[in-house]
Amino acid sequence: MGQAACDAVESADDLELVAKLGSADSIDALAGSGATVAVEFTVPGATEANVHALIDAGLSVVVGTTGWTDESLDRVRRHLEERNAGRDGDDALGVLIAPNFALSAVLAMTFAKQAARFFESAEVVELHHPNKVDAPSGTALTTARHIAEARAAAGLGAMPDATQTQVDGARGAVVDGVHVHAVRLRGLVAHEEILLGNPGEQLTIRTDSFDRSSFMPGVLLAVREVVGRPGVTFGLDQVLDLS
């Protein structure tokens, strides 16, 4: 994703790629580069520390890496509040974190949130390439949380489920009461199905990223939007005015 993002920035007329950093590089290497926005695609164990270091270096940040929690988001929010005190406009830094930059995935999450209150049952199936290091995917976690919030707001209780599992994990992970299943299969890129069921009917919302190019328009949009958007923005839906 890092390489794909560099290529996308280089091919954008209004953006300039001034530095590329890998796991062996220090963020100090950005000093004097003229960078104003960093794009961060690394690993869940490194992303938060990178974001804090980038804020200290005076950059706004677009983050695609997974692994963010309410606590890590709060720490970044507090850091930005301290850093932005007394500054406004383009001097105030922003961090835009999106679990998925693909338009189809952003829309699927939005539609799932809208549909959730109308169905007795909802489950999420995410399907990815086998090199993916985390499970469930950040997109599936966010989708499940949105579904749970929408169900709670509508006063829906637990979903019907009489299953007594014979093998641990057979019903997947449970995220805020929503079952999430992770498939890892050679040939896949990034896919998700949200299954919503009622007596006699089912709604399936499916998003497929067949190629990493699907994420790039969203990454570039985020790079343009994060400037002048102080604080933490979570989800590309916020930028697209979908939520």
Ligand X SMILES: O=C(O)C1=N[C@H](C(=O)O)C[C@H](O)C1
Collapsing DSSP states into helix, strand and coil, what is residue 156? coil
CA-to-CA dists, residue 31 to 15, 53, 59, 164, angstroms: 19, 12, 11, 58
Q: Which of residues 187-216 bind ligand X (CB under 6 A)?
A: 190
Distance CA 17, CA 221 (A): 15
From the list ligand NDP, ligand X, none, partner contacted by residue 42 (C-beta under 5 to 8 A by kind): ligand NDP
Instruction: Candidates 52, 128, 181, 229: give the one binding ligand X (CB under 6 A).
Output: 128
Q: How many residues sit in the footprint of ligand X (CB under 6 A)?
A: 9
Instruction: Candidates 55, 119, 123, 138: give the one binding ligand X (CB under 6 A).
Output: 138
Interface with ligand NDP by CB under 6 A: which residues?
A: 1-2, 21-23, 41-44, 46, 50, 64-66, 98-101, 134, 138, 215
Q: Which amino acid is at 128?
A: H
Q: Which of residues 39-98 bind ligand X (CB under 6 A)?
A: 66
Taking the least distance from each CB to ligand X, the nearer of 92 and 236 is 236
| 100 near ligand X, rule: CB under 6 A | yes
C-alpha count within 13 angstroms, C-beta hemisphere, residue 154: 17
From the list ligand X, ligand NDP, none, partner contacted by residue 128 (C-beta under 5 to 8 A by kind): ligand X
SS3 content of the chain, % helix, strand, coil (to 5): 40, 20, 40
Longest dimension (CA), the chain: 63
From the list ligand X, ligand NDP, none, partner contacted by residue 68 (C-beta under 5 to 8 A by kind): none
| Minimal distance, residue 93 CB to ligand X, in Å | 24
Structure tokens given for 131? 């090199």
Closest C-alpha among 77, 47, 74 to residue 62: 47
| Minimal distance, residue 106 CB to ligand X, in Å | 11
Structure tokens given for 137? 């995917």
Contacting residues toward ligand X, per CB under 6 A: 66, 99-100, 128, 132, 137-139, 190
